[in-house]
Structure 1
């Protein structure tokens, strides 16, 4: 839907990110208040540590994920942008290996090779002469994967202490307010708007942002993280199908194979494994 907006209505990325984050964040906070969570909605700002953490999460987690992802879609297409964002597990793995004192094994090597092979096929469609998508889309997509990795690793303590609805609501509001300095939400060519434009933007705000983030995090109450990650693979599959069938984005055979490899890497890394740490030296 965001790609449709960029292609047909030519709305700026900064405007769409600001509007979708601000409206979604305020809606989530309003729902949380209506559910009787005023203590947590306001309490997160009464503790200096949690206040600083939610600001960092809002700017370098939520805003970074949203802006880089939307920029990748605008520069290329939704299918490639979503798949590049799903390289996040590989970045998370690299972080854990570097910081959390885990050691490299055959499983990690296999995951990285699968992910790199899939990315190569996705971006080149098997042609070594050049990229099948614009370089800007690749850069923004990889940055989106890195931002999603940070988003995933940093959010845990905040979500445990204050609840997903409150943390996501404030993070979206903070991120939306920050990007508003680049393009104010009220600064749009309203005279050229149609019902199609309004409906598309409302869909992105309600279904593509608020409900998507809320439901994904709420699922962790009922599913194991591995199950949630695997089910989350429906997102890039839906993006590919919608891009090809609805927006008529060309998607070659080798790109399809690359997509399967990237999704395979996500599933592979989501499967349970034994905890492994570096043995203490003598």
Structure 2
């Protein structure tokens, strides 16, 4: 297996796990009355602690060394990149709806392409431009089901959605230097912990808004272990093999995974418009796989 294909599979695994998180968060908020603030807070704190434990046991005994050299980078990654992207997405949903928020956040590859063009002076290839067009169109068809009147763009929603996308750009580009020196589990562990500590100043994680039972506990643990710990580590590791633009384009698999999981577990129907969007999103995978 080539390194390029390995990177693609890593991103696709991450998007599948993030799609799972979408289903779990929907269940926890709508059916079990948990709040977005508590879920983001718990997700970051628990994931950070787990990743640092994994780092200490399997990779680096001195998990504090990175704080001496890159404390500010980790703090910014946690608060701006991880917390900002997640919380901005929730704010956008609260002031518009999920389709609008998803479309705005998945402008990510466009912003990264502009960054590489303006800052790195690297022009995107023709295949990358086609992939971005297919990815955004496919995502729009899936989340709106072809009804573009469902898009609600209040000023707050627009700003929050774009801010969330820019925060995603930040956590895609910013940690590359520190990741060359330390393991991804160490970098993500401290960053998530810092993000969780920051939001804890405004939300008490011990004040549990919903009921903890077997089902909600399973959903929360799955959100933390699969949708956060594994997903973010695989995504960052994929940057060893893919360009930031390629990795960001492939993240549009997340809404497709959400639709498939909803179809399996929530008995949600899959329309012809959504099928067309799915074909466009899947085509980006094959285009980028053939690009190398």
TM-score interval, normalised by the smaller of the two chains: 0.7 to 0.9
Seen in structure 2, the aligned counterparts of structure 1 residues 143 and 255 have a Cα distance that, compared at 3 Å, is farther
Aligned to 1:279: none
Aligned to 2:172: 152
Aligned to 2:6: none
Is 2:236 the partner of 1:213?
Answer: no
Aligned to 2:259: 240
Aligned to 1:46: 68
Unaligned runs of 5+ in 1: 274-282
Contact 2:172 2:236 in 1 (8 A): no
Aligned to 2:198: 178
Aligned to 2:223: 204
Greater radius of gyration (CA): 1
- Rounded Cα–Cα distance in structure 1 between residues aligned with 2:271 and 2:157: 17
What is the aligned counterpart of 1:90 among 110, 116, 126?
Answer: 110
- Rounded Cα–Cα distance in structure 1 between residues aligned with 2:219 and 2:179: 30
Give the CA deviation at 1:73: 6.8
What is the aligned counterpart of 1:13 among 36, 39, 63?
Answer: 36
- Rounded Cα–Cα distance in structure 2 between residues aligned with 1:248 and 1:80: 23
Contact 2:28 2:34 in 1 (8 A): yes
Instruction: Name which structure has the greater RCO, CA cutoff 8 Å, separation 6+.
Output: 2
Matches within 5 A, 1:126-165: 126-128=146-148, 130-131=149-150, 135=153, 139=158, 143-165=163-185
Give the CA deviation at 1:156: 0.6
Give the CA deviation at 1:261: 2.5
What is the aligned counterpart of 1:23 among 41, 46, 57?
Answer: 46
Larger deviation, residues 169-178 vs 59-68: 59-68
- Rounded Cα–Cα distance in structure 2 between residues aligned with 1:106 and 1:210: 34
Give the CA deviation at 1:200: 1.5
TM-score, structure 1 normalization: 0.76
Deviation digits for residues 130-166 of structure 1, max 9, x if unmatched? Answer: 12x6658975555443322221111211111121011
Give the CA deviation at 1:30: 1.5
Aligned to 2:77: 57
Matched residue count: 263
Seen in structure 2, the aligned counterparts of structure 1 residues 80 and 3 have a Cα distance that, compared at 3 Å, is farther
Aligned to 1:257: 276
Larger deviation, residues 170-179 vs 136-145: 136-145
| Aligned alpha-carbon RMSD (Å) | 3.4
Give the CA deviation at 1:193: 3.1
Larger deviation, residues 97-106 vs 6-15: 97-106
Give the CA deviation at 1:252: 3.4
Aligned to 1:278: none
Contact 1:86 1:262 in 2 (8 A): no
Aligned to 2:213: 194
- Rounded Cα–Cα distance in structure 2 between residues aligned with 1:234 and 1:103: 24
Contact 1:114 1:265 in 2 (8 A): yes
Deviation digits for residues 34-83 of structure 1, max 9, x if unmatched? Answer: 236133x2111212xx1111111111111122323455677755x98667
